[in-house]
Amino acid sequence: MSSSLIIKTFILVIGLLFIHKVVSVDYGAALTKSLLYYEAQRSGKLPPDQRVQWRADSGLKDGSDAGIDLVGGYYDAGDNVKFGFPFAFTITMLSWSTIEFRSELGARQELSNALKAIKWGTDYFVKAHPEADVLYGEVGDGDSDHACWQRPEDMTTPRTTFRIDDQHPGADLAAETAAALAAASIVFRPVNPKYAQQLLGHAKQLFEFARNHPGLYQNSIPVAGKFYSSSGYEDELVWAAAWLQRATDDQTYLNYIAGATNTGGTRTVFSWDDKYVGAQVLAAKLVLEGKSDSSGTWAQYKSGAEQFICSCIQKGNNNNVKKTPGGLLWFLPWNNLQYTATASFVATVYSKYLTSAHSSLQCPGGLVQPSDLTALARSQVDYILGENPKGISYMVGFGSNYTNQPHHRGASIISIKKDARPVTCQGGFALWFNKDAPNPNVLDGAVVGGPDENDAYTDSRSNFQQAEPASVTPAPLVGIFASLAS
């Protein structure tokens, strides 16, 4: 065989292997599981079409201490607290995923499940906002909850309610909830216009509440600050305005975005605490579509978004996001995969926006095409789903080798339907937490915190820094999976 033929054969084999590698990841299955996960996180009276059968009703008296119905919503992570701040961001991101990839979700028969996941959250927020300047922002107490290891169905911990109002403001919490409801209103408009209008009404009121009563929410709800402390509220206000603008096309919100004194600059993460990248991307979309000016403040927003993306794709200005040796974008040691997920989602939607505008991205390190951004997102979710040095899927229930000891109370304790004997606060630690065995219930679709900066991971529920899944993480992945599965 001639040397040129050998080289051609080698290239062909490598190419076939690459193609097999790409199609071997079942993004449709990952999408299904990521939406299924939210059913396992449900608080309240479970509906007849509940698919996650190892869960049962819980938190049925939430809000009773304040004389208000706060039954429903989602538990935060591996605990049984409803933290309003990250919860609202979760719903905003689920809505954004659904808005951008609605047809793809429909093609995979997952649109109805996405709508149900969003509505379980928005129904709760409507109840939590009984007056214009009142919003309930937490149910349960992190300290007492974390001191126990119990199923949500067995909770014996206090279900204290905490709120913000005109005397105890929290512009960040109010604005993030406004963003969630505004984004969700766009989702529901084609199928339930009356409900969409209701959500938009609450969103407008909450935005005005946030504008008129500045302040950090943890100053009004100190117990939340121990777990989800907010670093500022200006980002949430711009983020909420961007979603209200998209939902209403109202010049008022466009003016607010343009008049903001802080456009965020170059951020290092996009997260439940820092929304600037999201707001910058939505502003950049308006610039790309010619719906706003391309200079001044608008140019600053677009530049901020693009600098973050350039940094993620390793073509930034000497400030590239770190990558692990195995290729994972690595931001912070605690639940890093939530930041990888949001960054990958931003790359995915910006690829879509650039394609629509017949444009590309000029990074300091060179030209980036929309296809390059899609490839970045694909590489990151492939890593999460098992193509990593450990050969482990960080999405529970996905693939043949997945993390099976996620730090999650409900999943780690036998279902109440199989053994109805109550698990006590401390008894849960002895019986279940310290048991070195896979969780008895598979928490399908949960994404754990993930590996460290050297790709190392210990699959143990006591390793809460790496092994605890959080509700914020799969929300942006829903959109990426829908896009890649199409």
As annotated, the active-site residues are: 79, 407, 459, 468
Among positive and negative, which fits the CA dihedral 295, 296, 298, 303?
A: positive
What number of CA atoms fall less than 13 Å from residue 143's CA on the CB side? 6
Residue found under tokens 């909450």 = 206
Element (H, E) at 282: helix 276-288
Residue 425: φ, ψ to 5°: -50, -55
Q: What is the DSSP string of 14-66?
A: HHHHHHHHHHHS-HHHHHHHHHHHHHHTB-BS--TT---TT---B-TTTTGGG
Helices (H) and strands (E) in the chain, counts: 19, 7
C-beta of residue 123 within 8 angstroms of C-beta of residue 72: yes
Residue 134's Cβ-count burial label (10 Å; 0-12, 13-18, 19+) is: middle
Minimal CA–CA distance to 163: which of 244, 217, 199?
217
Element (H, E) at 373: helix 370-384
Residue 299: φ, ψ to 5°: -65, -35
Element (H, E) at 164: strand 161-165
Neighbours of 399 (CB within 10 A): 18
